[in-house]
Amino acid sequence: MRLGTSDSPLTIGIIGDGFMQPGFFEVALTRQLVGRNVNYRNLELQWPLKLSSTKHDPSLPVAEFVGRPEDYFGFLSGLDVLITHLAPITRDSLRHAERLKIIAVSRGGPVNVEMAAARERGVIVINTPGRNASAVAEFTVGSLLAETRNLIRGHQTVASGNFGREFYHFDSVGPELGELTVGIVGYGEIGTRVARLLAPFGCKMLVFDPFKSLTEEDRQAGIEKAGLDDLLRRSDVVTLHPRVTPQTKGMIGRAQIALMKTGAYIVNTTRGQVLDYAALYDALVSGKLKGAVLDTFDPEPPPADSPLLKLPNVTLSPHIAGASRYSVTKAADMIASDIRLILDGKPPLYPAT
Protein backbone atom coordinates (compact mmCIF):
# COMPACT_ATOMS: atom_id res chain seq x y z
CA MET A 1 0.00 0.00 0.00
CA ARG A 2 1.32 3.47 -0.89
CA LEU A 3 -0.43 5.11 2.05
CA GLY A 4 1.50 7.41 4.35
CA THR A 5 3.54 9.17 1.65
CA SER A 6 3.64 12.92 1.12
CA ASP A 7 1.21 12.51 -1.78
CA SER A 8 -1.08 10.14 0.10
CA PRO A 9 -1.14 10.77 3.87
CA LEU A 10 -2.39 7.97 6.11
CA THR A 11 -5.31 8.57 8.46
CA ILE A 12 -5.50 6.21 11.42
CA GLY A 13 -8.49 6.25 13.75
CA ILE A 14 -8.17 4.74 17.24
CA ILE A 15 -11.31 3.94 19.23
CA GLY A 16 -10.03 3.15 22.68
CA ASP A 17 -11.38 3.27 26.22
CA GLY A 18 -10.25 3.49 29.81
CA PHE A 19 -8.32 0.21 29.50
CA MET A 20 -7.07 0.17 25.91
CA GLN A 21 -6.19 3.87 25.90
CA PRO A 22 -5.57 5.43 22.46
CA GLY A 23 -2.27 7.02 23.49
CA PHE A 24 -0.51 3.67 23.83
CA PHE A 25 -1.40 2.77 20.25
CA GLU A 26 -0.31 6.13 18.90
CA VAL A 27 3.06 5.78 20.63
CA ALA A 28 3.57 2.26 19.25
CA LEU A 29 2.55 3.34 15.75
CA THR A 30 4.86 6.35 15.84
CA ARG A 31 7.78 4.00 16.55
CA GLN A 32 6.84 1.67 13.70
CA LEU A 33 5.78 4.15 11.01
CA VAL A 34 8.86 6.37 10.98
CA GLY A 35 9.02 8.47 7.82
CA ARG A 36 5.34 8.07 6.95
CA ASN A 37 2.90 10.96 6.81
CA VAL A 38 0.30 9.94 9.40
CA ASN A 39 -2.71 11.75 10.83
CA TYR A 40 -4.30 10.34 14.00
CA ARG A 41 -7.92 10.61 15.05
CA ASN A 42 -8.63 9.36 18.59
CA LEU A 43 -11.82 8.55 20.48
CA GLU A 44 -11.86 7.27 24.07
CA LEU A 45 -15.04 5.53 25.25
CA GLN A 46 -16.23 5.82 28.84
CA TRP A 47 -15.82 2.09 29.38
CA PRO A 48 -15.41 0.46 31.88
CA LEU A 49 -16.28 3.09 34.51
CA LYS A 50 -19.45 4.69 33.13
CA LEU A 51 -20.27 2.01 30.58
CA SER A 52 -19.53 -1.01 32.72
CA SER A 53 -20.61 -3.91 30.50
CA THR A 54 -20.42 -4.98 26.90
CA LYS A 55 -23.50 -5.90 24.88
CA HIS A 56 -24.85 -8.93 23.07
CA ASP A 57 -27.58 -8.11 20.54
CA PRO A 58 -28.95 -11.07 18.58
CA SER A 59 -30.10 -8.69 15.85
CA LEU A 60 -26.47 -7.79 15.06
CA PRO A 61 -23.79 -10.11 13.63
CA VAL A 62 -21.25 -9.03 16.25
CA ALA A 63 -20.72 -9.62 19.98
CA GLU A 64 -19.19 -8.07 23.11
CA PHE A 65 -19.36 -4.45 22.01
CA VAL A 66 -20.02 -0.99 23.44
CA GLY A 67 -22.46 1.42 21.81
CA ARG A 68 -24.27 0.91 18.51
CA PRO A 69 -22.72 0.72 15.02
CA GLU A 70 -24.33 4.03 14.05
CA ASP A 71 -22.59 5.77 16.96
CA TYR A 72 -19.30 5.50 15.07
CA PHE A 73 -20.35 6.18 11.46
CA GLY A 74 -19.06 9.75 11.54
CA PHE A 75 -15.76 8.75 13.11
CA LEU A 76 -15.13 6.11 10.41
CA SER A 77 -15.48 8.48 7.48
CA GLY A 78 -12.12 9.22 5.86
CA LEU A 79 -10.12 6.59 7.78
CA ASP A 80 -7.55 4.37 6.07
CA VAL A 81 -6.91 2.32 9.21
CA LEU A 82 -9.17 1.68 12.20
CA ILE A 83 -7.95 0.39 15.55
CA THR A 84 -10.75 -0.64 17.91
CA HIS A 85 -11.22 -2.55 21.12
CA LEU A 86 -14.99 -2.58 21.64
CA ALA A 87 -16.70 -0.55 18.90
CA PRO A 88 -19.03 -2.72 16.77
CA ILE A 89 -18.12 -2.72 13.07
CA THR A 90 -20.81 -4.09 10.75
CA ARG A 91 -21.63 -4.03 7.05
CA ASP A 92 -23.41 -0.73 7.59
CA SER A 93 -20.30 0.63 9.30
CA LEU A 94 -18.18 -0.15 6.25
CA ARG A 95 -20.56 1.81 4.01
CA HIS A 96 -19.47 4.88 5.97
CA ALA A 97 -15.78 4.01 5.69
CA GLU A 98 -15.14 4.28 1.97
CA ARG A 99 -11.33 4.50 2.32
CA LEU A 100 -10.86 1.87 5.01
CA LYS A 101 -8.17 -0.72 4.21
CA ILE A 102 -7.26 -2.17 7.64
CA ILE A 103 -9.19 -2.94 10.83
CA ALA A 104 -7.12 -3.83 13.89
CA VAL A 105 -8.93 -5.31 16.90
CA SER A 106 -7.03 -5.16 20.19
CA ARG A 107 -8.41 -8.40 21.58
CA GLY A 108 -7.93 -12.13 21.14
CA GLY A 109 -10.81 -12.54 18.67
CA PRO A 110 -12.50 -10.01 16.35
CA VAL A 111 -15.97 -10.79 17.70
CA ASN A 112 -17.09 -7.15 17.37
CA VAL A 113 -16.35 -7.07 13.62
CA GLU A 114 -18.62 -8.53 10.93
CA MET A 115 -15.86 -10.52 9.28
CA ALA A 116 -17.83 -11.60 6.21
CA ALA A 117 -18.56 -7.98 5.32
CA ALA A 118 -14.93 -7.01 5.80
CA ARG A 119 -13.76 -9.82 3.53
CA GLU A 120 -16.25 -8.81 0.83
CA ARG A 121 -14.92 -5.27 0.94
CA GLY A 122 -11.30 -6.43 0.83
CA VAL A 123 -10.56 -4.93 4.24
CA ILE A 124 -7.70 -6.66 6.07
CA VAL A 125 -8.61 -7.51 9.67
CA ILE A 126 -5.93 -8.22 12.27
CA ASN A 127 -6.22 -8.90 15.98
CA THR A 128 -4.03 -9.66 19.01
CA PRO A 129 -4.19 -13.34 19.98
CA GLY A 130 -2.55 -14.07 23.30
CA ARG A 131 -2.16 -10.41 24.26
CA ASN A 132 -3.52 -11.14 27.76
CA ALA A 133 -2.65 -14.84 27.99
CA SER A 134 0.01 -14.39 30.66
CA ALA A 135 -2.28 -12.06 32.64
CA VAL A 136 -5.13 -14.59 32.65
CA ALA A 137 -2.80 -17.46 33.53
CA GLU A 138 -1.30 -15.57 36.48
CA PHE A 139 -4.75 -14.56 37.68
CA THR A 140 -5.98 -18.16 37.39
CA VAL A 141 -3.23 -19.50 39.63
CA GLY A 142 -3.52 -16.59 42.07
CA SER A 143 -7.27 -17.02 42.37
CA LEU A 144 -6.91 -20.76 42.86
CA LEU A 145 -4.53 -20.10 45.75
CA ALA A 146 -6.95 -17.52 47.16
CA GLU A 147 -9.79 -20.06 47.14
CA THR A 148 -7.92 -23.10 48.41
CA ARG A 149 -5.97 -21.25 51.13
CA ASN A 150 -8.77 -18.96 52.38
CA LEU A 151 -6.97 -15.72 51.45
CA ILE A 152 -10.11 -13.67 50.77
CA ARG A 153 -12.04 -15.15 53.67
CA GLY A 154 -9.11 -14.57 56.00
CA HIS A 155 -8.83 -10.96 54.86
CA GLN A 156 -12.53 -10.37 55.44
CA THR A 157 -12.29 -11.83 58.95
CA VAL A 158 -9.40 -9.58 59.99
CA ALA A 159 -10.86 -6.50 58.25
CA SER A 160 -14.12 -6.99 60.15
CA GLY A 161 -12.27 -6.53 63.44
CA ASN A 162 -12.05 -10.20 64.31
CA PHE A 163 -8.96 -12.37 64.40
CA GLY A 164 -10.88 -15.58 64.08
CA ARG A 165 -8.93 -18.80 64.15
CA GLU A 166 -11.51 -20.90 62.33
CA PHE A 167 -9.32 -20.98 59.23
CA TYR A 168 -6.61 -22.73 61.24
CA HIS A 169 -8.97 -25.57 62.13
CA PHE A 170 -8.22 -28.76 60.22
CA ASP A 171 -11.76 -28.88 58.83
CA SER A 172 -11.31 -25.44 57.20
CA VAL A 173 -7.72 -25.45 55.95
CA GLY A 174 -7.14 -26.15 52.28
CA PRO A 175 -4.68 -28.28 50.35
CA GLU A 176 -1.29 -27.28 49.01
CA LEU A 177 -1.11 -27.12 45.23
CA GLY A 178 1.55 -29.82 45.15
CA GLU A 179 -1.02 -32.32 46.43
CA LEU A 180 -3.43 -31.70 43.60
CA THR A 181 -4.18 -33.07 40.18
CA VAL A 182 -5.19 -30.13 38.01
CA GLY A 183 -7.28 -30.70 34.90
CA ILE A 184 -6.79 -28.01 32.25
CA VAL A 185 -9.65 -27.80 29.75
CA GLY A 186 -8.37 -25.95 26.69
CA TYR A 187 -4.62 -25.95 26.04
CA GLY A 188 -4.09 -22.85 23.95
CA GLU A 189 -2.16 -19.69 24.81
CA ILE A 190 -3.67 -19.47 28.30
CA GLY A 191 -3.90 -23.14 29.21
CA THR A 192 -0.26 -23.78 28.35
CA ARG A 193 0.85 -20.84 30.52
CA VAL A 194 -1.26 -22.10 33.42
CA ALA A 195 0.55 -25.43 33.15
CA ARG A 196 3.97 -23.74 33.18
CA LEU A 197 3.08 -21.69 36.24
CA LEU A 198 1.73 -24.71 38.11
CA ALA A 199 4.64 -27.02 37.30
CA PRO A 200 6.99 -25.66 40.02
CA PHE A 201 4.30 -26.32 42.65
CA GLY A 202 4.53 -30.02 41.85
CA CYS A 203 0.96 -30.45 40.58
CA LYS A 204 0.04 -33.42 38.45
CA MET A 205 -1.61 -32.06 35.31
CA LEU A 206 -4.13 -33.46 32.86
CA VAL A 207 -5.06 -31.69 29.62
CA PHE A 208 -8.16 -31.91 27.47
CA ASP A 209 -7.91 -30.25 24.06
CA PRO A 210 -8.86 -32.19 20.91
CA PHE A 211 -7.00 -29.67 18.71
CA LYS A 212 -3.66 -29.54 20.55
CA SER A 213 -0.87 -32.10 20.82
CA LEU A 214 1.50 -32.22 23.75
CA THR A 215 5.12 -31.27 23.18
CA GLU A 216 8.12 -33.20 24.42
CA GLU A 217 8.56 -30.44 27.02
CA ASP A 218 4.99 -31.07 28.19
CA ARG A 219 5.61 -34.78 28.53
CA GLN A 220 8.88 -34.19 30.38
CA ALA A 221 6.92 -32.03 32.83
CA GLY A 222 4.58 -34.97 33.46
CA ILE A 223 1.59 -33.44 31.68
CA GLU A 224 -0.84 -36.06 30.40
CA LYS A 225 -3.51 -35.72 27.75
CA ALA A 226 -6.92 -37.12 28.69
CA GLY A 227 -10.49 -37.29 27.49
CA LEU A 228 -12.87 -34.83 29.10
CA ASP A 229 -14.75 -37.39 31.20
CA ASP A 230 -11.50 -38.99 32.36
CA LEU A 231 -10.06 -35.58 33.27
CA LEU A 232 -13.16 -34.68 35.27
CA ARG A 233 -13.07 -37.95 37.23
CA ARG A 234 -9.37 -37.69 38.12
CA SER A 235 -8.88 -33.98 38.82
CA ASP A 236 -8.94 -32.19 42.15
CA VAL A 237 -9.17 -28.89 40.30
CA VAL A 238 -10.73 -28.27 36.88
CA THR A 239 -9.72 -24.98 35.27
CA LEU A 240 -11.53 -23.85 32.13
CA HIS A 241 -9.75 -22.17 29.19
CA PRO A 242 -11.53 -23.06 25.94
CA ARG A 243 -12.69 -20.50 23.42
CA VAL A 244 -16.46 -20.08 23.27
CA THR A 245 -17.78 -21.97 20.26
CA PRO A 246 -21.03 -23.84 19.58
CA GLN A 247 -19.20 -26.96 20.76
CA THR A 248 -17.94 -25.49 24.05
CA LYS A 249 -21.04 -23.62 25.15
CA GLY A 250 -22.42 -25.44 28.18
CA MET A 251 -19.67 -28.07 27.98
CA ILE A 252 -19.48 -28.28 31.79
CA GLY A 253 -23.02 -28.99 32.87
CA ARG A 254 -24.79 -31.06 35.49
CA ALA A 255 -23.70 -34.40 34.04
CA GLN A 256 -20.06 -33.33 33.83
CA ILE A 257 -20.01 -31.95 37.38
CA ALA A 258 -21.48 -35.24 38.60
CA LEU A 259 -18.37 -36.99 37.25
CA MET A 260 -16.03 -34.85 39.34
CA LYS A 261 -14.48 -35.89 42.62
CA THR A 262 -16.37 -34.98 45.75
CA GLY A 263 -14.49 -32.04 47.25
CA ALA A 264 -13.02 -30.82 43.94
CA TYR A 265 -12.79 -27.22 42.75
CA ILE A 266 -13.81 -25.49 39.50
CA VAL A 267 -12.00 -22.39 38.17
CA ASN A 268 -13.55 -20.33 35.37
CA THR A 269 -11.54 -17.44 33.94
CA THR A 270 -12.80 -17.96 30.38
CA ARG A 271 -16.34 -16.98 29.33
CA GLY A 272 -19.38 -17.79 31.45
CA GLN A 273 -21.13 -19.63 28.61
CA VAL A 274 -18.98 -22.74 29.02
CA LEU A 275 -20.31 -23.52 32.51
CA ASP A 276 -23.80 -24.26 33.85
CA TYR A 277 -23.99 -21.93 36.84
CA ALA A 278 -27.22 -23.38 38.21
CA ALA A 279 -25.62 -26.83 38.31
CA LEU A 280 -22.49 -25.33 39.85
CA TYR A 281 -24.55 -23.68 42.61
CA ASP A 282 -26.25 -26.97 43.48
CA ALA A 283 -22.90 -28.77 43.62
CA LEU A 284 -21.38 -26.12 45.90
CA VAL A 285 -24.36 -26.14 48.27
CA SER A 286 -24.55 -29.92 48.45
CA GLY A 287 -20.84 -30.32 49.17
CA LYS A 288 -20.19 -32.17 45.93
CA LEU A 289 -17.69 -29.41 45.13
CA LYS A 290 -15.62 -27.77 47.85
CA GLY A 291 -15.17 -24.46 46.11
CA ALA A 292 -15.09 -22.43 42.92
CA VAL A 293 -13.25 -19.49 41.40
CA LEU A 294 -15.38 -17.35 39.08
CA ASP A 295 -14.12 -14.37 37.11
CA THR A 296 -16.81 -14.61 34.41
CA PHE A 297 -20.55 -15.20 34.49
CA ASP A 298 -23.58 -15.90 32.34
CA PRO A 299 -25.28 -13.48 32.17
CA GLU A 300 -22.69 -10.82 32.86
CA PRO A 301 -22.85 -9.00 35.14
CA PRO A 302 -24.71 -11.58 37.24
CA PRO A 303 -27.96 -10.51 38.93
CA ALA A 304 -27.25 -8.85 42.26
CA ASP A 305 -29.60 -11.29 43.99
CA SER A 306 -27.99 -14.40 42.50
CA PRO A 307 -27.62 -16.95 45.33
CA LEU A 308 -24.29 -18.03 43.84
CA LEU A 309 -22.81 -14.69 44.92
CA LYS A 310 -23.72 -15.32 48.56
CA LEU A 311 -21.94 -18.64 48.99
CA PRO A 312 -18.98 -18.74 51.39
CA ASN A 313 -17.02 -21.23 49.28
CA VAL A 314 -16.62 -19.12 46.13
CA THR A 315 -13.92 -16.60 45.18
CA LEU A 316 -15.42 -13.97 42.87
CA SER A 317 -13.97 -11.24 40.67
CA PRO A 318 -15.57 -8.90 38.08
CA HIS A 319 -14.06 -10.27 34.82
CA ILE A 320 -10.60 -8.81 35.39
CA ALA A 321 -8.33 -11.81 34.77
CA GLY A 322 -6.99 -10.31 31.55
CA ALA A 323 -6.64 -6.78 32.90
CA SER A 324 -2.92 -6.05 33.15
CA ARG A 325 -0.91 -3.07 31.96
CA TYR A 326 1.37 -5.30 29.94
CA SER A 327 -1.56 -6.69 27.95
CA VAL A 328 -2.30 -3.15 26.73
CA THR A 329 1.23 -2.33 25.61
CA LYS A 330 1.60 -5.79 24.09
CA ALA A 331 -1.60 -5.33 22.06
CA ALA A 332 -0.40 -1.91 20.87
CA ASP A 333 2.97 -3.29 19.80
CA MET A 334 1.40 -6.28 17.99
CA ILE A 335 -1.00 -4.04 16.07
CA ALA A 336 1.59 -1.39 15.19
CA SER A 337 4.01 -4.03 13.90
CA ASP A 338 1.34 -5.69 11.76
CA ILE A 339 0.15 -2.38 10.31
CA ARG A 340 3.74 -1.61 9.28
CA LEU A 341 4.03 -5.02 7.61
CA ILE A 342 0.80 -4.52 5.68
CA LEU A 343 1.81 -1.05 4.52
CA ASP A 344 5.14 -2.50 3.38
CA GLY A 345 3.26 -5.04 1.27
CA LYS A 346 3.99 -7.99 3.56
CA PRO A 347 1.55 -10.41 5.23
CA PRO A 348 0.61 -9.62 8.84
CA LEU A 349 1.64 -11.89 11.67
CA TYR A 350 -1.82 -11.88 13.25
CA PRO A 351 -4.52 -12.03 10.56
CA ALA A 352 -7.99 -12.45 12.05
CA THR A 353 -9.87 -15.63 11.22
Strands 181-185 and 124-127 come out as unpaired
Catalytic residue among 131, 271, 325, 340: 271
Please give the full DSSP string across 235-263, using - where no structure is assigned.
Answer: -SEEEE-PPP-TTTTT-B-HHHHHHSPTT
Q: What gap in Å lies between CA 182 and CA 141, rounded to an integer?
A: 11
- Under DSSP, is residue 205 helix (H, G, I), strand (E, B) or coil? strand
Q: What is the DSSP letter of 353?
A: -
Of 193, 234, 319, 340, the active-site residue reads 319
Q: Strand, coil or helix: what is 341? A: helix
* 193 vs 1: CA distance, rounded Å: 37
Catalytic pick among 138, 189, 224, 300: 300
Q: Would residue 300 show up in a list of annotated catalytic residues for this protein?
A: yes
Known catalytic membership, residue 85: no
Beta bridge partners of 214: none
Q: Catalytic residue at 2?
A: no
Beta strands in 248-352 (DSSP E): 264-268, 289-294, 314-316
C-alpha separations of 84 from 134, 206, 338 in Å: 22, 37, 14
Closest CA to 252 of 212, 318, 267, 263: 267
Full DSSP string of 66-122:
SS-GGGGHHHHTT-SEEEESS--B-HHHHHT-TT--EEEESSSS-TTB-HHHHHHHT
Q: How far apart are CA 287 and CA 195, in angstroms?
A: 27
Catalytic residues: 271, 300, 319
